[in-house]
Amino acid sequence: MKKHFYVGIVAVLIAVVMIGATVITASAATNSLSEKETDAIVNTSTDQSKIESPFLNVVNDVRNSVVGVNNYATSTAYYGYGFGYGYGQPETKEALRGTGSGVVITEYGHVLTNYHVVEGASRVTVTTGDDDKEHEAKVVGYDATLDIAVLEVKDLNIKPVALGDSDALQVGEYAIVIGNPMGERFARSVSVGVISGLGREVTDRSMDKYGRISTVTNTMIQTDAAVNSGNSGGGMFNTLGQLQGIPSMYALSSSGGSSFFFSTGEQADNIGLCIPINVAKPLITEVLKDYNSNGSKSADTRSQQGSSAEERIDSPLFGKPRLGVTITTLSNSSRFGLPAGAFVRAVEAGSPADDGGVKVGDIVVEMDGTILDSQNALINKLNGYHEGDQVQLKVYRDPELTDNTNLDKVDVNKLGNGEYIDLTITLRVVDNMNF
């Protein structure tokens, strides 16, 4: 009897639950959202014209003027037995060495970037946001000490940015950094911060285009806007859309990577350094003057080599013009803070070199725009000249070397305090028997 009683109670409870579920389901069905109500929640829109930001107009105006810069290098290797000892066949290959950023600064296709972005490149290309094509570029001017370079890209057809006046920057104003951190995968990324400091002195060792290594101190702009690997050569803009700086350095903590300017163990976050645009303006001016008058010129490349042999600059054929100097190539010149080039051991009295101001101890590093890294480079360059030709020489003159014919007596601790001097030499025939 009790068993039937409990069975009856369970049956009643199940019935009550089922009735309740039915009521709830019916209630839910009665109160469900209509398609119109759901659409109002989900299918929304944003009125871009009402978005307020001090950066939108700037970014839209200049973002596409920031390009990618690709550094290609070639190397020759031997494959097969012999490893270069006469049995294997050499094979030259080109590979992408690194990438960076650049900013279009003229309607003629000039792109401003960092020197370290294009340093050592056998070929440089530029990529834009308009297409996937790599545009061939030429390095038409650079200053390794300041870490700046100017490229020229034919038929680039990209709107140039306006240059600002970095001397007018104020600590606390906005800084908009645009570049390609980590390459094209994050092309034309935008980061925003403020100007954290001005006149930050950064000391580093640098090699100029003539091979002279020196310790240089550059004045930089500090910002907390993100500056990462690949941003180098991009742009730091103000809210007027003017290019005020070139992102060049960033600080890393000691936990990984390398730091441009902090020693191991120092911790740093949100510290990026940019080259002031006013520092780059003299180089830009020089490039544009050359472009307007003579057309663009690509930078000369050179190889590092040393020699202890001496050569007399004259011709076995009587009647050929010469400088009238005896030269050699110094070994390990960069070790002592000297550039590579043709070291002048002697200057013939009354010769074109003597009349033009060349002194014993000078190092000839450039002739008519061609960089010279040895005495052979100078000899080969002279072969194309004739009587009466004027040549532009650039020499490095160090007080410790001037008029010193005995290199054994040079105090190496005093080397590296010289300067580059421009000289104009008029070549003429000099009797070979007089020297």
Provide DSSP, 91-145: EEEEEEEEEEEEEE-STT-EEEE-HHHHTT-SEEEEE-SS-SPEEEEEEEEEETT
CA 208/CA 165 separation, integer angstroms: 26
Token pair listed for 393: 């020489």
300 carries an active-site annotation:
no
130 carries an active-site annotation:
no
116 carries an active-site annotation:
yes
CA 358/CA 378 separation, integer angstroms: 14
- Residue 119's DSSP bridge partners are none
CA 55/CA 192 separation, integer angstroms: 8
Q: Active site residue: 101, 143, 147, 314, which one?
A: 147
User: By C-alpha distance, which of 288, 315, 274 is closest to 427?
Assistant: 315
CA 212/CA 21 separation, integer angstroms: 89
- 206 CB-near residues (< 8 Å, 6+ apart): 144, 145, 147, 213, 214, 215, 216
How far lies 7's CA from each of 2, 4, 15, 21, 23, in Å?
Answer: 9, 5, 12, 21, 25
Token pair listed for 243: 């290019």
CA 365/CA 356 separation, integer angstroms: 16
HSE-CB at 236 with a 13 A cutoff on CA atoms is 35
Q: Active site residue: 116, 208, 351, 398, which one?
A: 116
Q: Active site residue: 65, 166, 232, 333, which one?
A: 232
Q: Which residues are catalytic?
A: 116, 147, 232
